[in-house]
Structure 1
Amino acid sequence: MNMHQTYRWGMLAPGKIAHKFASGLQYVPGAELYAIASRDEVKAKNFADQYHAPVSYGSYEALATDPLVDIIYIATPHTFHMENTLLCLEHGKAVLCEKPLAINSYQVETMIQSAKENDSFLMEAVWSRFLPNIHRAKELVESGKIGVINHLEADFGFKADYDPHSRLFDPALGGGALLDIGIYPLFFALYLFGVPNKVESEAKLAPTGVDESCRVKLTFAGGETANIYITVTEFTAVEARIEGDQGAIHLPNRWYQPGNLAITTEHGTEDIVMDFVGNGYNYQAVEVMNCLKEGRRESTRWSHNDSLQLMRLMDEIREQCGIEYPADHIDR
């Protein structure tokens, strides 16, 4: 692993979200976007040229075996995350893999075990976890300014055109609202309250069998609750509200992105303006590099166990709602 202050990043699969990550990485001191890999060599070269990466490859294997690459960001569809991550870990690369980390908890367990066996870093790219506004919300909760928190309301919805072969609706690609966007409010609930002891969920399924919308109620050990709604059939407010017995914290539209928040108590409402650098995707890259500098193989801010508990929660929701993927029946 690179012992200097510059870390060379490789990018596996230059798709839509990879552009966002590459844009954010430009704001990270000590980060160099070094190599791009795609099954389409021309696509890799074009992406590399756009972001001034010096190397491009027409195979993932070539990226994984490049001795100059320190960290690989994996941006393939959900169903390929385990395969791609294992390839990189087995060649000693640090890995930041897009969310969800995999399709089910069995795959997540397999990936975590490989990271340990290969003494390599692994983190799920839950980028919102590292944003200043999300961190500030947790600080306000822990300060006691809204008293004892007891409830979370959070939603995420947008309208997508139905295409049975698209990433959002094809079960072979891990389609559905839950794995694509449900991960945001679910991670937030776990971040605030821990693992729930009761899960109640219902979903409306698309003709392909994946969920196009889903409602989830979580109940926690202290009696706290969370109501979550996700959908790819309509635009929603995309807001989050944390309620306590002495006030509330409101994260407005697109709460999972860089933004501001407000706190309401008996003294009125105070708007809290946050400062940001980059587009938000940079903060998770900073976390990865900080961990490597400190010799850690996982983040304490979003650990292997955090990813596993999140996936187990989504497994339970899928089981309740009757959502299955072909990948659920292989590799076991």
Structure 2
Amino acid sequence: MSSHDASFGPDPAAAPPLRWGILGPGGIARRFARDVPAHTASSVVAVGSRSAARAQAFASEHAIPTAHASYAELVADPQVEAVYIATPHSEHLEHALLALQAGKPVLVEKSLTRNAAEARQLFDTAAECGLFAMEAMWTRFLPHMVALRELLAAGEIGQVRMLTAEHGQGLDHVPATHRLKNPDLAGGAMLDLTVYPISFAHDVLGVPDEVCALGTLTETGVDASESITLRYGGHALAILGASMTAATPNAAVVTGSQGRVEIAGTFYAPSTLTIRPREGQVRQVSPAVGSGFEYQAAEVARRVHAGERESPVHSWAGTVEVMATMDEARRQLGVRLPGE
């Protein structure tokens, strides 16, 4: 029997099955290949890489029946019903278009693309093809985020006045050629790390009226760390931070006129909420179950089976809005990627 509490959103194990193909067998794809078959009715039936040896090694590691030596072969595979794209950010648009034009719905690792213009192109193509597409911002679908949105909507902490969130990882040891520092591969903290607190702020507060960013750059010219403040009218601020040079607590707090909600680190992974009202009892909500990636995969399966093109939880318009905020922050930091 499932231990899932329906009050925290639909049970991923109850979603209809979907046969996945993984495009790009990197580190984050391992998480997807592990979580999806373990916690949903879906399966990973194929993996594709430019290297036959790499595809075969990944397939063997995760008991995936088919390994393809090219991305074109993967998206053309008739047993694949949806494609999970886990290549570097610089290649997301190209690979998403490849899959969509082959008639396959896509789940594209965050950040969806390098910028808002590319995101619009991706979604325009999905619309033309009549296919589902979504950014893999897995946090949006986690039980504690469902609980947070519900308690904010119920006014439990009054009107939101301030939001703080940060995401720091000690990754500065990687060489200059690594994708995190390589401008040609759309490196930098923004698209890998800062997307989490920015997407979180958009989820809670929506589109900001003003973006103010300060930061530091790597020796290769991509952003190493940043502090970003978002202003919402005259009533609310989101104070966000990210760094790939230091590991931070990765916590988040939403403060309202009548109290606050604290999300234990790591806020973007399955977590616990502590509600601290201005008056009354402190209480905890602990909906953390499972590993994490299964919730977004289950959402894709539900929407694809329903014949829908996007998820209302993480819509096309909402994704483009997050990308636009990151574009403006990068502009202020002086980071421009090749080809932009």
Q: Does 1:27 pair with 2:38?
A: yes
Q: Distance in 2 between matches of 1:172 and 1:188?
A: 27
Q: What CA deviation, in whole Å up to 9, does each residue of 1:288-316 have, x standing for no partner?
A: 00101211011111011111111111111
Deviation of 1:274 after TM superposition, in Å, equals: 1.5
Aligned position for 2:5? none
Structure 1 unaligned spans of 5+ = none
2:155 alignment partner in structure 1: 144
Unaligned stretches of 5+ residues in structure 2: 1-14
Give 4+ residue runs of structure 1 displaced > 2 Å after superposition.
Answer: 27-30
> Which of 53, 58, 63 in structure 1 is aligned with 2:64?
53
Asked if 2 retains the 8 angstrom alpha-carbon contact of 1:28 and 1:285, the reply is: no
Partner Cα distance (1:52, 1:79) in 2: 29
Is 1:169 aligned with 2:181? yes
Judging changes above 3 Å, is the alpha-carbon distance between structure 1 residues 272 and 327 closer, same or farther for their aligned structure 2 residues? same
SS in 2 for 1:43: helix
Which amino acid in the other structure matches residue 207 of structure 1? E
Code of the residue aligned with 1:220 in structure 2: it is Y
Alignment-derived partner of residue 288 in structure 1:
300
1:264 corresponding residue in structure 2: 276
TM-superposed CA distance for 1:162, in Å, is 4.4
Q: State which of 124, 133, 138 in structure 2 corresponds to 1:113.
A: 124
**Percent identity of equivalent pairs:** 36
Superposition pairs of residues 103-252 of structure 1, within 5 angstroms:
103-160=114-171, 161-221=173-233, 223-252=235-264
Counterpart amino acid of residue 274 in structure 1: P
Using structure 1 for the length normalisation, give the TM-score.
Answer: 0.95
Query: Which amino acid in the other structure matches residue 82 of structure 2?
Result: I
User: Are 1:312 and 2:308 matched, yes or no?
Assistant: no
Matched, 1:68 2:79: yes
Under a length normalisation based on structure 2, what TM-score does the superposition of the two structures give?
0.93
- Check the 8 A contact 2:161/2:257 in 1, yes or no: yes
- Aligned counterparts of 1:111 and 1:245: Cα–Cα separation in 2: 39
CA deviations 1:165-196 (Å, max 9, x no partner) are 11111111111111111000000100111100
SS at match of 1:11: strand
How much has 1:139 moved relative to structure 2?
A: 1.3
Asked whether the 8 Å contact 2:169–2:243 carries over to 1, the reply is yes
- 2:299 alignment partner, SS class: helix
1:90 lines up with 2:101 in the alignment: yes
SS of 1:326's equivalent in the other structure is: coil
Deviations 1:200-256 (A, max 9, x none): 111111111111110100011362110001011112121100000110000011111
Bigger shift: residues 242-251 or 203-212: 203-212
Counterpart amino acid of residue 249 in structure 2: A
For the aligned residue pairs, the C-alpha RMSD in angstroms reads 1.3
Q: Cα 1:194–1:75, aligned 2, differ >3 Å: closer, same or farther?
A: same
Alpha carbons of 1:200 and 1:53: their partners in 2 closer, same or farther (altered >3 Å)?
Answer: same
Q: CA shift at 1:268, angstroms?
A: 3.6
Partner secondary structure for residue 25 of structure 2: coil
Distance between the aligned counterparts of 2:250 and 2:59, measured in 1?
34
